[in-house]
């Protein structure tokens, strides 16, 4: 069979800075949450226009591109950043909703007294979920379906990209030190969301709308040849910019590896 010819080609834009991750104060929080070495951001340019029906082709081209596999930073088994250095054999792509325009999305945490008016997170007796210690009502509402307040975020809410980012930061890495107040989680979620999601204003109605598309991706590798585990990814596509943002988060829970990557085109 002839070699597959890619439609899209990519190039790392290594001068791009992401203030949400690189700000000194935010980095201190990422250290505390055991995310500093595993939460990375990169931008790639690409050379063709993109249509939604091409998402599978686009993603597979990305994970096979020599410029990508030599520069894309992922976490090693020791939690340190290292180039991917392997082309994917297959990918599966799932659309992730990205519609939320305001951080008022999280006001219900105050309305249901999960977070006090002062911003302090309501504590609870310790529980464990898949090896994660839950010692406050915030993590209960994020993780435990049997929680009294779990349904304040319905399944549609929980699918939202903003919710996933927030949950990602709140749960943290393998040796996360949790915050007593909600503000650090909300602030960095907002900054990260603004860094990687694009909006535009309708010239007639003046209303804002999100012009990015988000995809959850599973990239699969030949285990027999490379001895690699498959990685879960998340992609964000912005229809007006031929650029790709990437955020990579790696954590270790119960000997399972979870690797999330965000693209913005």
pLDDT of residue 112: 97
Which single residue is written with the structure tokens 């030190």? 177
How far, in Å, CA of 109 to CA of 171, rounded?
A: 16
Q: Cα 71 to chain center, whole Å?
A: 19
Alpha-helical (H) ranges within the chain are: 19-22, 24-32, 55-64, 66-69, 108-111, 137-143, 155-159, 161-171, 183-196, 223-226
Q: Please check whether residue 186 is in contact with residue 106, taking contact to mean a CB–CB distance below 8 angstroms.
A: yes
pLDDT of the chain, 265 residues: tens digit per residue: 457 888 988 888 888 888 898 999 999 999 999 988 777 778 888 888 878 888 899 889 988 999 988 988 776 666 677 777 888 888 888 888 999 999 999 999 999 999 999 999 999 999 999 889 999 999 999 999 999 999 999 999 999 999 999 999 999 988 899 999 999 999 999 999 998 888 889 999 989 998 887 888 777 776 555 444 445 555 554 444 444 555 544 322 222 223 444 444 4
List CB contacts of 105: < 8 A, sequence separation 6 or more.
157, 160, 162, 163
pLDDT of residue 259: 43
All structural domains of the chain with their residue ranges: 10-99+215-261, 103-196
Beta strand 231-238 pairing with 10-12: unpaired
pLDDT of residue 238: 47
Burial of 205 (0-12, 13-18, 19+ CB in 10 A): exposed
pLDDT of residue 44: 81
Q: Cα 18 to chain center, whole Å?
A: 14
């Amino acid at each position: 069979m002839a070699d597959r010819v890619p439609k899209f080609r990519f190039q790392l834009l290594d001068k791009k800075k992401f203030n949400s991750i690189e700000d000194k104060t935010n980095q201190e929080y990422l250290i505390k949450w055991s995310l500093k070495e595993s939460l990375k951001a990169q931008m790639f340019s690409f050379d063709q226009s993109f249509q939604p029906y091409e998402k599978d082709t686009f993603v597979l081209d990305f994970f096979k591109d020599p410029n990508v596999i030599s520069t894309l930073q992922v976490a090693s088994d020791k939690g340190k950043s290292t180039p991917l250095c392997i082309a994917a054999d297959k990918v599966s792509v799932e659309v992730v909703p990205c519609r939320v325009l305001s951080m008022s999305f999280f006001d219900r945490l105050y309305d249901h007294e999960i977070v006090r008016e002062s911003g302090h997170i309501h504590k609870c007796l310790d529980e464990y979920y898949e090896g994660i210690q839950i010692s406050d009502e915030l993590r209960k509402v994020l993780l435990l379906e049997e929680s009294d307040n779990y349904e304040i975020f319905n399944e549609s809410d929980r699918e939202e990209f903003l919710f996933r980012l927030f949950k990602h930061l709140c749960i943290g890495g393998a040796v996360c030190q949790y915050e007593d107040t909600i503000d650090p989680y909300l602030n960095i979620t907002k900054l990260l969301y603004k860094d990687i999601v694009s909006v535009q204003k309708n010239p007639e109605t003046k209303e804002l709308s999100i012009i990015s598309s988000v995809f959850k991706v599973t990239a699969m590798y030949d285990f027999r040849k490379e001895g690699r585990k498959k990685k879960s990814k998340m992609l964000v596509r912005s229809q007006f910019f031929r650029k790709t943002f990437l955020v990579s988060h790696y954590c270790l829970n119960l000997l399972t590896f979870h690797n999330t990557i965000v693209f913005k085109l």
